[in-house]
Amino acid sequence: MKKLMFALGLLAAGATAQAATPIFSDSFDSNAAALNATPTGWSIDKGTVDIIGAGTPWDYIPGSGLFIDLDGSTGNAGMLFRDFDLTAGLQYTLNFDLAGNHVNSAQENVQVKFGNVTEVFSLPMAAGWTPYSLVFTPNQTKTYTLSFWNNNSNDNVGMLLDNVNVTAVPEPETYAMMLAGLGLVGFMARRRRKA
């Protein structure tokens, strides 16, 4: 019985360690292409973004379906954001692809905020899709915001965004707690048999 519980514990911890659970994914391909638009499930603050790509005059990186120009067409780059209910003790990884401004050589930066983590990304003109990731481990279970905000406005051309996804895995400390929990279950099972 003891050996069985130990083996089960290892199995559970191993399986969880390998499997990052997908909790969100958006290729923006299910939207309708439009300038100054809000992709489904997202919100926009401070300005606008464009949904461009396949089937539009602005298919800068063919084969990507639709994607986001983070500087819309109103002279103010919009902050693209959405909320996530995140659980303390899980480690969340945000993955996304950015590409450079494909029209002019203006220096573009995109500020990405994921929960309490903020990082600024920059790519030269016409740079292709570049994968980035941010890791955030909440210390409280609550609603957090993910946002993308292009800083360089006034020219209606920003960096491009596609393939945003979020996965979750338990923190290493959580594995230890899971193992301890399984140990307790084994201990109680043994006690029940003795009683």
Binding site for Ca ion (CB under 5 A): 27-29, 50, 64-65, 67, 69, 71, 73, 106, 152, 155-158, 162
Which segments of 38-181 are extended strands (E)?
43-45, 50-53, 66-69, 79-86, 90-99, 109-114, 117-122, 130-136, 142-150, 160-170
Which of residues 90 and 94 has its CB atom nearest to Ca ion in the complex?
A: 94
For residue 51, the minimal CB distance to Ca ion (Å) is: 10
Provide, rounded to whole angstroms, the least separation between the CB of residue 144 and Ca ion. Answer: 24
Give whichever of 64 and 167 is closer to Ca ion, judged by the CB atom.
64
Residue 164 CB, shortest distance to Ca ion, in Å, is: 10
> Which CB, 79 or 162, lies closer to Ca ion?
162
Nearest distance in Å: CB 23, Ca ion: 19
Nearest distance from residue 131's CB to Ca ion, in Å? Answer: 13
Strand 109-114, strand 43-45: pairing:
unpaired
Residue 63: name the closest of 96, 110, 37, 27 by CA: 27
Contacts of 36 (CB under 8 A, 6+ apart): 48, 49, 50, 72, 73, 74
**Minimum CB separation from Ca ion for residue 148, in Å?**
14
Question: Which residue lies nearer to Ca ion by CB, 73 or 95?
Answer: 73
State whether residue 43 is helix, strand or coil.
strand
Toward Ca ion, which CB reaches closer, 29 or 175?
29
Of 155 and 175, CB closest to Ca ion:
155
**Contact partners, residue 43, CB within 8 Å, separation at least 6:** 80, 81, 82
Distance CA 86, CA 142 (A): 6
Rounded distance between C-alpha atoms, residue 102 and residue 22, angstroms: 31
Class of residue 63 by CB neighbours under 10 A (exposed 0-12, middle 13-18, buried 19+): exposed
